[in-house]
Amino acid sequence: MSYVITEKCLGERYAVCATVCPVECIHPGDYKGQEFMIIDPEVCINCGLCLPECPVGAIVASEEEDQAYAAINKELTPTYKNNPPAPERPKNDPPKRPGNKLVN
Ligand code: SF4
Ligand code: SF4
């Protein structure tokens, strides 16, 4: 079981989730030509700290809630996990992705 970063993160990458993760299992990369982040499902300890930090509500608490993106997080982990940390965007910076709203 693992937390999962979903499609709402595509093009956003606020990166505050990675800052609070106690086991450093959230990694940045590009997906579909846009900035993205994934959670390494092998390392995530399900602490829940990241979920309320995401300004656009892009994180879900289990693989069952978004099975497609759970698979994508897992598939991208090997290529993302050695990337340097992404810089944080301010939490009140307006979302870039159409349809996203600030929720946290
Ligand atoms: S805080 Fe949310 S939008 Fe930002 S990188 Fe993390 S999951 Fe993506
Ligand atoms: S649930 Fe905890 S361990 Fe898992 S990605 Fe979020 S902050 Fe990291």
Is residue 32 assigned to a domain?
A: yes
* Contact (Cβ atoms closer than 8 angstroms) between residue 26 and residue 54: no
Considering only CA atoms, which of 19, 24, 54, 20 is closest in space to residue 40? 24
Q: Which ligand is nearest to the CA of 86?
A: 1
Q: How confident is the model at residue 97 (pLDDT cuts 50, 70, 90)?
A: very high
Query: Does residue 21 have its Cβ closer than 6 Å to ligand 1?
Result: no
CATH number at residue 9: 3.30.70.20
Is residue 9 assigned to a domain?
A: yes
Alpha-carbon distance of 76 to 73, in angstroms, equals: 5
What does the pLDDT look like over 7-33, one tens digit per residue?
A: 999 999 999 999 999 999 999 999 999
pLDDT of residue 86: 95
pLDDT of residue 66: 98
Is residue 37 assigned to a domain?
A: yes
- Best substitution site from 2, 4, 9, 93 to test ligand 1's pocket, by max atoms within 8 Å of Cβ? 9
Domains: count for the chain? 1
Considering only CA atoms, which of 28, 52, 32, 83 is closest in space to residue 3? 52
pLDDT of residue 15: 95
What does the pLDDT look like over 26-79, one tens digit per residue?
A: 999 999 999 999 999 999 999 999 999 999 999 999 999 999 999 999 999 999
Q: Which domain holds residue 19?
A: 4-80
